[in-house]
Structure 1
Amino acid sequence: MRTLETLVEGLKFGEGPRWRDGWLWYSDFYAHHVRRVNLQGRVAEVVDVANQPSGLGFMPDGSCLIVSMLDRRLLRLKDGKLTEHADLSDRVDAPCNDMVVDAMGRAYVGNFGFERHKGQSPKTTSMWRVDPDGSIHEAAGDLMFPNGTVITPDGGTLIVGETFASRLTAFDVAEDGALSNRRVWAEMAGGVPDGICLDEEGAIWVADPRGCRVQRILEGGRVAEEIALEGRGAYACMLGGPEKRHLFVITNEDSGPGVAERTAGRVEVTEVDIPGAGLP
C-alpha cells in the first residue's frame, strides 16, 4: 500500500495544486497566498490575493490565472503584475473555487452555488468559461458544486467533479470551447469528489475529503487504487514531477473557516505507476 510523505506543512488551507517547470504551484486561501514548492521542499512566494486565491491555471504565454474566491473574479499574473482578467460577480452569487485552463487559454471556472458556511441549502449552479479575451460564457448549468476539473490530452473531453452529487460528469469540448453531450463519467457511491487529476491511462485520481482518501477511478466508477489518509481529508491532487509520476495531495483536518486559525494543512506526496496526462 502506498503511503504519503509530507513535503510542506503549516498551510492554513491549500487548494489548486498545479505542476509547472519543476515547481508545484498552490493556493493557501485562508492565508491569501499563492506559493510554489519544489521536490526538495523549498517554498517560494508567488503573489498575495486579498479575497482568497483558489484555482490556478496557465495561459499559453505562461501567465498564471488565479481564481479570487470571495469577490468572484479571475485574476491574471504576468511579469509580476496582478490584474483583473474577468469579473464573474454578476453571474455567480457564491464563492468561486476550482478551475481548469485549456491549451487555448480558456478558463472553466466552478463555484459553490450556495453559501455552505452560512447555512444555505445546497443548490445547483453553472460553470463559466472565460475566453482569452476576458469574455464570459456559460459553459454548463445544473451542476451541483462544480469543483475539480480535467481536460483530456486531445482537448476533446472535459470532466468535472460535482462534489455534492458524488459523481464525475463529462462533456465533449467543441473547437470554440462550448460543452455538449453531458454524461455521467463515474458515480462515487457517497464519495465527495474535490480536486482531481488525470493519468495516461485515462483514469482520474480523486481527492475525497469525506472519505479521507485519494482514489484512482476508471470510467464507469471502478476504483483501481486507494490511498487512505488516516483521518485527514484530501482536498486536491496533482500529478507532476520530472516524469509526472509524483502524486501531490493537499490535506487538512477540515475545510471550514475554523481552520483559518490553525496551520494544519499539508502538501503530501507519493510516487505512482502511471504518469499524469492532459490538463491541468
Structure 2
Amino acid sequence: MRTYQAQPCLDERAEHAEGPLWDDVREELLWVDVYAGLVRRARWDAPRLVPVRTYSLGEAVGAVVPCADPEDGWVVASELGFARLGTDGSVRTLAEPERGRGTRMNDGAADPRGRFWAGSMAHDRTPGAGTLYRLEGYEAVPVLTDVTISNGLAWRSPDEFFYVDTPTQRVDLVDRDGNRERAFAIDPALGAPDGMTIDAEGALWVAMWGGSAVVRFSQDGEVLARVEVAATQVSSCCFGGPGLTTLFVTTSQEGFTPEQSAAEPFAGKLFAVETGVAGLAADRYRPEGEGS
C-alpha cells in the first residue's frame, strides 16, 4: 500500500471546510465553509492556494458546482435546498424542500448529464431524517429517503454513482432511480467515510472523518493507498491542478472546543498532495440536462 503525506496549502482556517471542486475552466479550486455560509475560490500556485474571492450566502451551504456557462455562476446546496449564486454574489433560491424539517443540505455534485444532486441531514443527526435530491428545473426530486448523513457522490457512469451515507460505514452503488446496493464496507478503524472523488483508473479516494486520512479504495473495497493528513476530521477531497494530479483535501474543526482547536492547529485548513494519479474533470451544471 502506498502512503502519501498531504501538506497545508492555505494559511486560513475554516470552521468546517467541505466540498472541494476543481473548476477546469477558470482553473480554480472551489470549496465551502459550511456553517459560515461561505463559498471560496482560489487559484493554485504550487505549493500554495492563492485566494481569489469569497462569497457569503448568509446561510449554511453544503456544496457548490459551476454552471456550464461560467457567466451563469454556480449552483449551491444551500441550507434548505438549492440556489443559484451569481458571479456578482447575488443569490437566487431555486427550491427549498428541507424547510421546516430541522435539517440542512450537505454534500452534492453534478453528474455527467449536467444534473445537480445533493443530500440533507438533520441538525441533531436523527437517523433517517435526510434525503438525497436531484435538481430538475425548480423542483428538487427526492431519489433516496431514510438517509442519515448524506455525503460523497462519485459517478461510475452517467446513470450510476457511488454514494456515502456516513453512519452506514460503507460505500453504496446507486442508480438514477434510487436503486441502492452495497459496494463495499469500510473498517471503522480507518474512520468514518465522508466526501470522496473518483480517479481516471476508477479507484475511489474517500475522506475519513476521524481518521486523519484520505484512503484510496478499489471499487470492491481493497485499500490501495493512504494519504496522511495532519487533522483528525477530514471532510472531502478532489483532484485538480495541472493534469488533475493534485489531490486537494478539506478538513474541519466542527464541534471543537478552543482547547481542541489549539491542540490541532491544522484542523480547518486545506491540504494538497501530488499523487501521480490523474483525476477526472468535475461535471458542470447544465439546465438542459435536467430530467434527461
Under TM normalisation by the shorter chain, which class is it?
0.7 to 0.9
SS in 2 for 1:10: coil
Q: RMSD of the TM alignment (CA)? A: 2.3
Runs of 5+ unmatched residues, structure 1: 174-178
Residue in structure 1 matched with residue 140 of structure 2 by the alignment: 136
Is 2:99 aligned against 1:95?
Answer: no
Change (3 A) 1:149 1:92: farther
Report the CA distance between 1:9 and its aligned residue.
Answer: 2.6
**Partner AA of 1:155 in structure 2:** P
TM-score, scaled to structure 1: 0.86
Residue in structure 2 matched with residue 49 of structure 1 by the alignment: 57
Q: What whole-Å deviation, never above 9, does each CA across 1:111-139 have from its counterpart, x for those lacking one? A: 11x323xxx643353211111x1112111
Residue in structure 1 matched with residue 187 of structure 2 by the alignment: 189
* Poorly superposed stretches of 4+, deviation over 6 Å: none
Q: 1:66 aligns with which of 76, 89, 113?
A: 76
SS in 2 for 1:243: helix
**Does the Cα contact within 8 Å between 2:244 and 2:279 map onto a contact in 1?**
yes
What is the aligned length? 265
Q: What whole-Å deviation, never above 9, does each CA across 1:25-80 have from its counterpart, x for those lacking one? A: 111233332111111221022411111222111233333111222xx131112342
Residue in structure 2 matched with residue 122 of structure 1 by the alignment: 127
| Cα distance between partner residues in 1 of 2:192 and 2:201 | 22
Q: What whole-Å deviation, never above 9, does each CA across 1:61-120 have from its counterpart, x for those lacking one? A: 333111222xx13111234232112112248531111111124432211111x323xxx6
Residue in structure 1 matched with residue 9 of structure 2 by the alignment: 7
Residue in structure 1 matched with residue 155 of structure 2 by the alignment: 151
Runs of 5+ unmatched residues, structure 2: 284-292
SS in 2 for 1:8: coil
Change (3 A) 1:229 1:46: closer
Written as runs of structure 1 = structure 2, the 5 A alignment for 1:233-272 is: 233-252=233-252, 254-256=253-255, 264-272=267-275
Change (3 A) 1:140 1:122: closer
Residue in structure 2 matched with residue 176 of structure 1 by the alignment: none
**Partner AA of 2:86 in structure 1:** K
Is 2:119 aligned against 1:110?
Answer: yes
Is 2:17 aligned against 1:17?
Answer: no
**Does the Cα contact within 8 Å between 1:215 and 1:227 map onto a contact in 2?**
yes
SS in 2 for 1:195: strand
SS in 1 for 2:4: coil
User: Comparing both chains, which one has the higher relative contact order based on Cα–Cα distances under 8 Å and sequence gaps of 6 or more?
Assistant: 2
SS in 2 for 1:193: strand
Change (3 A) 1:187 1:240: same
Is 2:93 aligned against 1:84?
Answer: yes
| Cα distance between partner residues in 2 of 1:198 and 1:92 | 32
Residue in structure 2 matched with residue 209 of structure 1 by the alignment: 209
TM-score, scaled to structure 2: 0.83
